[in-house]
């Protein structure tokens, strides 16, 4: 099972989820339910190989997140978003209670799961209105990160279903998928997803210098590694659009000078291994569609 | 490695002799098959004369022992669409990143570093041989893997440096369990000895921390041959060598098969299978050239 990798489930979750205000969930739900947003993606056919399911949570404290995702029609939107992809097998997209803060793709039953606990944490960790440095808004932090997570798991799904040769570490490769796909849309969308991803990793903790050797054994990179990889691919793919990352000193010049080549490597991999499974006409339609609401793009 | 101790060799000599010996048995003049392995049109080699006199003995020794000529033979099963250059050089740094189009550069400075770190961290002669031998082979395979990715335009998902490590580990696993254990564990110990503590901006590097590389090599090894590497299996309590944590060990067979599958799909079509069989069937280490094995 390929998981997103930030398993930080604690007893604190009960308190956190209870504390999620009805207003926050309501605004999240309403943001995607606006008529304009709904009309945009409905013009694209749903991928016939993709099934969806919102599994009701057993825990009452997750009811609000469940209702919010259902109201936001996030799975229906993904069903349409995946329209250009020729899948050799059926895929189940589901949201459910997992007893962990995570999202994952399982090759055993070909399911991609978004856990209510993860969404709850994203809402909790998002800035009240906008982050102190002005980097990201409340809505963009939630939606950008969530889309990034789904694209990451979508990477695992494509590696499995499309029999993609993966030479490097698969978790890094899945992060690359998320960054690459984010950069295939308009500037507003690419910024929201990349910034959401960066925000998520920037506030996570790396192992300390005194950590025991075993903390390095995980198949995922550290939060900082994943943040720098995202910054680098974004800058490599769109140097003008993400020049701010270098100007602000977030992406060190020593790494920045290689980012064009890193993005070129990724693009080659995508073209050779995934693009043949994509319907070009539908892809153009997907690229032109406004998938996020104006509130989420702020 | 009793013969090494008898000869009172320097660390550098041990490196040179190791490479010589492992290739000698397959490609040396005593082997009638040697010429059929060599395909000079594919692999171009060169030894750059170092400007720093301290590297001169290293240069002389490597050249005298035809290390690159033997590497040329080892790589001969590759059917590349264009020539690949491999050179030994003084780089002014420990590494010289592979530029698109080549050449592969193995730096005298890195050979020196391998030797220095090993000697600073262990006084056990067997350990020293293990670490120097394993790390030198890893370094060469890693650099050649990056070059092959470039020359064949191999699609690389994941970071290229990690991909090169995984291919290196995969290749180390193809020549029998004794060679696999020597090179994998030697490499892992070198990463353990390196003790570089990563903080802050270090994580912006294109490469991975030594501690991550340590587990990456061990995982491919355990996943590829859980019998020869059973001492890496998760278990409670102290052990002579770091074991794999349960959560990672459970994934290692999958990791091994993933990189093997990728190699079979994207690189094997450019490899002469008959030549590979000959290379794999060769005796790469003589009986008394493994650490800890008595004569």
Quick one: pLDDT at residue A230? 97
Same domain? B97 vs B177: no
Residue B200 lies in a domain: no
Same domain? B187 vs B254: yes
Contacts of B212 in chain A (CB under 8 A): 216, 221
Say which range, A117-131, A201-215, B33-47, has the weakest mean pLDDT.
Answer: B33-47
Residue B282 lies in a domain: no
- Going by pLDDT thresholds of 50, 70 and 90, the confidence category of residue A257 is very high
Kindly report the pTM of this predicted structure.
0.88
Residue B121 lies in a domain: yes
> How many folded domains does chain B comprise?
2
Same domain? B42 vs B140: yes
Same domain? B69 vs B116: yes
Same domain? B148 vs B183: no
Residue B231 lies in a domain: yes
Residue B277 lies in a domain: no
Q: How far apart are CA B123 and CA B125, in angstroms?
A: 6
pLDDT greater at residue A292 or residue B212: B212
Same domain? B123 vs B236: no
pLDDT tens string A33-67: 444 455 688 899 999 999 999 999 999 999 999 99
Same domain? B168 vs B264: yes
- Going by pLDDT thresholds of 50, 70 and 90, the confidence category of residue B20 is very low
Answer yes or no: is pLDDT of B222 > 60. yes
Residue B290 lies in a domain: no
Same domain? B104 vs B182: no
Same domain? B91 vs B222: no
ipTM: 0.89
- Selected residue of A167, A205, A229, A235 to mutate for chain B interface (largest B Cβ count, 10 A): A167
Same domain? B15 vs B132: yes
- Angle of helix A138-161 relative to helix A187-202, nearest 10 degrees, comes to 90
What is the nearest CA distance from B111 to chain A, expressed in angstroms? Answer: 24
Same domain? B139 vs B162: no
pLDDT tens string B33-80: 334 455 545 889 999 999 999 999 889 988 887 778 877 877 889 999
List, in sequence order, every residue forming a beta bridge with B45; answer none if it has no partner. B86
Identify the closest residue of chain B to A158 by CA–CA distance.
Answer: B157
Residue B103 lies in a domain: yes
Say whether B157 and A252 touch across the interface (CB within 8 A): no
Same domain? B143 vs B240: no
- Selected residue of B155, B169, B216, B262 to mutate for chain A interface (largest A Cβ count, 10 A): B155
Residue B283 lies in a domain: no
Structural domain of residue B189, as residue ranges? 156-194+208-270
């Amino acid at each position: 099972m390929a998981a997103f990798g930030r398993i930080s489930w604690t007893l604190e979750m009960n308190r956190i989820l209870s504390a999620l205000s009805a207003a926050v969930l309501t605004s999240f739900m309403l943001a995607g339910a606006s008529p304009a947003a709904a009309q945009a993606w409905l013009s694209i056919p749903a991928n016939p190989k993709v099934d969806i399911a919102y599994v009701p949570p057993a825990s009452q404290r997750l009811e609000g997140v469940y209702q919010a995702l259902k109201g936001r029609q996030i799975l229906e939107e993904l069903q349409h978003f995946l329209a250009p992809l020729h899948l050799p097998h059926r895929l189940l997209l589901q949201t459910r209670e997992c007893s962990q803060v995570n999202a994952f793709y399982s090759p055993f039953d070909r399911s991609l799961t978004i856990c209510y606990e993860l969404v709850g944490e994203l809402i909790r960790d998002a800035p009240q209105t906008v982050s102190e440095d002005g980097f990201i808004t409340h809505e963009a932090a939630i939606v950008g990160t969530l889309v990034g997570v789904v694209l990451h798991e979508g990477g695992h799904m494509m590696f499995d279903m499309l029999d993609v040769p993966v030479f490097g570490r698969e978790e890094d490769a899945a992060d690359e998928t998320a960054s690459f796909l984010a950069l295939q849309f308009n500037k507003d969308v690419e910024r929201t997803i990349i910034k959401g991803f960066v925000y998520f990793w920037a506030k996570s903790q790396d192992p300390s210098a005194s950590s025991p050797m075993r903390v390095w054994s995980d198949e995922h990179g550290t939060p900082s590694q994943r943040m720098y990889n995202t910054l680098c691919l974004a800058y490599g793919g769109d140097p003008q659009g993400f020049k701010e990352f270098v100007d602000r000193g977030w992406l060190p010049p020593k790494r920045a000078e290689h980012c064009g080549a890193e993005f070129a490597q990724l693009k080659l991999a995508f073209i050779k291994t995934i693009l043949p499974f994509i319907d070009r006409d539908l892809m153009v339609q997907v690229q032109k569609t406004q998938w996020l609401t104006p509130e989420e793009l702020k | 490695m009793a013969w090494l101790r008898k000869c009172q060799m320097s660390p550098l000599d041990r490196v040179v002799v190791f490479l010589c010996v492992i290739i000698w048995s397959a490609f040396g003049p005593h082997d009638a098959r040697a010429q059929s392995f060599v395909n000079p049109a594919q692999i171009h080699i060169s030894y750059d004369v170092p400007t720093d006199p301290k590297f001169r003995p290293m240069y002389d020794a490597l050249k005298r022992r035809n290390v690159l000529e033997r590497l040329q033979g080892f790589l001969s099963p590759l059917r590349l669409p264009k020539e690949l250059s491999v050179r030994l050089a003084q780089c002014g740094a420990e590494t010289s990143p592979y530029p698109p189009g080549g050449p592969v550069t193995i730096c005298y400075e890195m050979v020196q570093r391998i030797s220095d770190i090993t000697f600073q961290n262990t006084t056990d002669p067997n350990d020293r041989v293990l670490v120097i031998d394993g790390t030198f082979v890893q370094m060469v395979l890693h650099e050649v893997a990056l070059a092959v990715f470039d020359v064949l335009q191999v699609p690389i998902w994941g970071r290229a440096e990690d991909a090169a490590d995984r291919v290196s580990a995969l290749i180390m696993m193809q020549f029998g369990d004794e060679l696999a254990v020597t090179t994998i564990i030697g490499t892992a110990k070198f990463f353990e000895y390196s003790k570089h503590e990563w903080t802050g901006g270090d994580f912006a590097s294109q490469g991975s921390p030594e501690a991550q590389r340590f587990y990456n090599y061990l995982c491919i090894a355990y996943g590829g041959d859980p019998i020869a590497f059973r001492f890496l299996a998760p278990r409670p309590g102290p052990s002579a060598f770091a074991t794999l944590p349960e959560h990672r060990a459970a994934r290692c067979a999958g990791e091994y098969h993933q990189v093997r599958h990728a190699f079979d799909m994207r690189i094997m079509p450019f490899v002469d299978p008959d030549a590979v069989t000959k290379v794999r069937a060769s005796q790469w280490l003589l009986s008394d050239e493994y650490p800890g094995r008595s004569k």
